[in-house]
A and B are shown apart, each in its own frame.
Chain A
Amino acid sequence: MSSFVFAWYSLCRQPARAVLAIAGVAVIGALLFDMLLLSQGMLISFRGLLGEVGFDARVMATSSMPMTGARVGDAAATAAAIEALEEIEVVIPMRIDQAEVVLSERRPMDFTLVGSISGHGAWTVIDGADINQRKADGDASTIVVNRNLASALNLSPGQTVTVRSECLGRRSILPTVEFEVVGIATFPFDSESQLTAAATIADFDRACGGEQDQADLFLVASRSRVTAEAAVEAIQQLRPDLYVFSNDQLVDRFERVGFSYFRQISTVLATVTLTFAFLLISVLLSVSVNQRFAEIAALRAIGFGRRRVAADLVWESGLMVSIGGVLALPLGLALAIWLDRILKSMPGIPADLHFFVVQPQAVLLHIALLATAGALAAGYPVYLASRLPIASTLRNEVVG
């Protein structure tokens, strides 16, 4: 009988304890798996989100996040100058500010108003037309709204909303402006409950009381033959006073500032989880070996070598860990969905951003870590079993 089969029978002989131990490994393994997914998940998701939008670089006046730092002045001239660079394909200026929809019988509803150029991926129209595709009736400007805003106000293309901008940083100062909703759009960085709308920069300025010629940021796409780094360098040489970030630099910054807490928490929890798994498997196997001293001594007496006994125990540990580890994967995925839902309820987290992202490296690392923990956990029981004095143990067990 091979060591593997022997270990399997050892487990089956005491099904209650085997099932409980495997369940414990599965739950703790699921937590470990989730912590491995969390350690890189948000970064991978953020990188993917930046890539999907289709721009290589962002240009801002300061290193602060858009809407929290100073704006770039002379926006039109700046955009034109950057776009004139041979490395650059397109430059999209963006103005972002708070505004409110004025409602006749209800309190005004706050939303984020974006002023930009349509048709370049800053948003995607899913119903109706884009802001530059249709002329509004009368004096009204055109606007596209996201699903949340559309459902909150029961809006559909063709309806008109009254908007008051807060771009001066104060409420109730600017006159209201009429916007005709021409389409429903999705915005890549919207959070689950965010209310967002987009208009042309001219209409955005109109809501702000007049031409401002400012931009919170510029989205820049480089030419296909040029790397993002080369585009960033070219813009930086043209305008050393501006802050230019490639997608990789943004991800790097996000990793250092915004994401570091989750990465560290995942490291701490993964370490604690592994230690926990190691200790508990080790204790379970040690107690099991203690209870089977007579059996092990008898096996040694009938010719089982030290290595064979050790191999039986390692296989037993391996079976426990591997069955638990395999069960941990679907359990971990279910747990990840639950934890992701909890964390995504934090304000400002884009709906398409995920904290837990499944990647082959995480699965491989999960397997490697659990296998290591299982092998190490078998160390002490193996030591106990291999050092067992055969004759005295048999005598003690029989006399006892």
Chain B
Amino acid sequence: MRGAIVGLTLIIGLIGSGILATSGPQPASPADAVGAAGVPSSVPDVLVSRQLLESQDLRIGDVVDLSPDPTAIGARSFQIVGVYEPVPDPTRFSAQRLEARLHLPDMLDLIADPDDPQATEAVDAINVALRNPAEETTFSRAIVRRVPGVSVRSTTRTDRGNPFIVLEQFHLAIAIVTILASTAFLLALMVMQSDERREMAGTLRLIGLKKSRVLTQVLIEGLIIATSGAAFGIVLALVSEEGFNRFFQWRYDTALVFVRISPTVAWQCVAMSVPLGIVASVVASWTLLRREVLALIRR
């Protein structure tokens, strides 16, 4: 009995789309599958993604028909010998990863046009690991020179069209706006706090403390408050990191990590928030300390 038909992505050597048709329940063990279902031992192996296995209610040992044609013409049987978690891909995180991995010769047999002698000689991409990754540009130039028409792309693209870079810019823009708003509020709070301490500052000046001494005190206080705030912010981010990741991983059925509080990110936060806090304290207090002592104590 032929079961559900579903479109999926075939990987290994050639990347294309195909159609999967389950051929009914099969025994769980691959060995049993061959005997019980009469599947010849030459049935090639296939790995399916966890998402495909779950969505089509497949099991290891099942025999499935794969075809590159939506009408299932030229379908061939494959036996599921394993399941895998697709490599998280940020550019496809919202897509359902219905994928299967075949041996390259099996895939070429499946999708190659028999009338095209070169069809079995073509691949979509060749992955290359360089001994020295720093020589990527030299390697790229050498390949383009020797094989005209081939394009070489680094896996660590940093150009503007990279969705990752774009999202990073977007989040950076949001962070800048948030910092601007925080600065305004922080300044407002510090102005209020300074105002509240007007008489205390006047008294300190009257008993002989210099402006610089009072300002140093304010600066140290600002440093303590800003450092505590930054530390609290980082702890809050670390605590919420797990929650964010779990939610988005559940939502998109992916192993992709969406939020990672790296030491660099933490240091960036500290480097921005601590000076900002100190400056806000000093600026707010300076407006107060500029006044005459008698004005401070309202006399």
Q: Which of B131-139, B179-187, B215-223, B265-273 contacts A (4 or more CB under 8 A)?
A: B179-187
Q: Which of A49-57, A68-76, A136-144 contacts B (4 or more CB under 8 A)?
A: A68-76
A20 lies within 8 A of B188 (CB):
yes
**Which residues of chain A are near B177, meaning CB under 8 Å?**
27, 30-31, 335
Q: A63-99 vs B: 1/0 string, CB under 8 Å?
A: 1100011101100000000000000000000000000
**Which residues of chain B are near A291, meaning CB under 8 Å?**
192, 195-196
- Identify which of B17, B149, B188, B287 contacts A284 (C-beta below 8 A): B188
**Which residues of chain A are near B252, meaning CB under 8 Å?**
260-261
Q: Does B189 contact A (CB under 8 A)?
A: yes
Tell me the smallest distance from the CB of B143 to a CB of chain A, in Å: 13
A20 lies within 8 A of B185 (CB):
yes
Q: How many A-B residue pairs have CB under 8 A?
A: 122
Instruction: Give chain B interface residues in 180-210, CB to chain A under 8 Å.
Output: 180-182, 184-185, 187-189, 191-193, 195-196
Q: Which of A125-133, A169-177, A178-186, A390-398 contacts B (4 or more CB under 8 A)?
A: A169-177
Q: Does A227 contact B (CB under 8 A)?
A: no
Q: Does B290 contact A (CB under 8 A)?
A: no
**Which residues of chain A are near B140, meaning CB under 8 Å?**
none
A241 lies within 8 A of B170 (CB):
no
A23 lies within 8 A of B184 (CB):
yes
A283 lies within 8 A of B189 (CB):
yes
Q: Does B178 contact A (CB under 8 A)?
A: yes
**Which residues of chain B are near A342, meaning CB under 8 Å?**
166, 169-170, 173
Q: Does A103 contact B (CB under 8 A)?
A: no
Per DSSP, chain B at the interface is helix
Instruction: Known A339-B170, A346-B166; judge A70-B19 contact (CB<8 A).
Output: yes
Q: Does A21 contact B (CB under 8 A)?
A: yes
Q: Does B124 contact A (CB under 8 A)?
A: yes
Interface residues on B, range: 35 or more
Instruction: Known A62-B19, A108-B149; judge A169-B122 contact (CB<8 A).
Output: yes
A284 lies within 8 A of B185 (CB):
yes
Q: B284-295 vs A: 1/0 string, CB under 8 Å?
A: 000100000000
Report the nearest A residue to B144, measured CB to CB: A107
**Which residues of chain B are near A193, meaning CB under 8 Å?**
161
Please measure, in the bound complex, the distance between the C-alpha atom of A170 and the C-alpha atom of B188, giving whole angstroms: 64
Q: Does A258 contact B (CB under 8 A)?
A: yes
Please measure, in the bound complex, the distance between the C-alpha atom of A393 and the C-alpha atom of B53, giving whole angstroms: 72
Q: Does A288 contact B (CB under 8 A)?
A: yes
Instruction: Known A27-B180, A264-B248; judge A171-B150 contact (CB<8 A).
Output: yes
**Which residues of chain B are near A338, meaning CB under 8 Å?**
173
**Which residues of chain B are near A284, meaning CB under 8 Å?**
185, 188-189, 192
Please measure, in the bound complex, the distance between the C-alpha atom of A165 and the C-alpha atom of B155, giving whole angstroms: 26
Please measure, in the bound complex, the distance between the C-alpha atom of A345 and the C-alpha atom of B162, giving whole angstroms: 9
Tell me the smallest distance from the CB of B21 to a CB of chain A, in Å: 12
**Which residues of chain B are near A269, meaning CB under 8 Å?**
174
Instruction: Give chain A interface residues in 303-341, CB to chain B under 8 Å.
Output: 335, 338-339
Tell me the smallest distance from the CB of B7 to a CB of chain A, in Å: 4
Q: A169-B122, A345-B161 are in contact. List 17 more A-B contacts (CB 8 A).
A: A14-B195, A24-B184, A24-B185, A28-B178, A62-B70, A64-B7, A168-B122, A169-B124, A171-B149, A242-B70, A260-B94, A260-B251, A261-B94, A287-B189, A291-B195, A339-B170, A339-B173
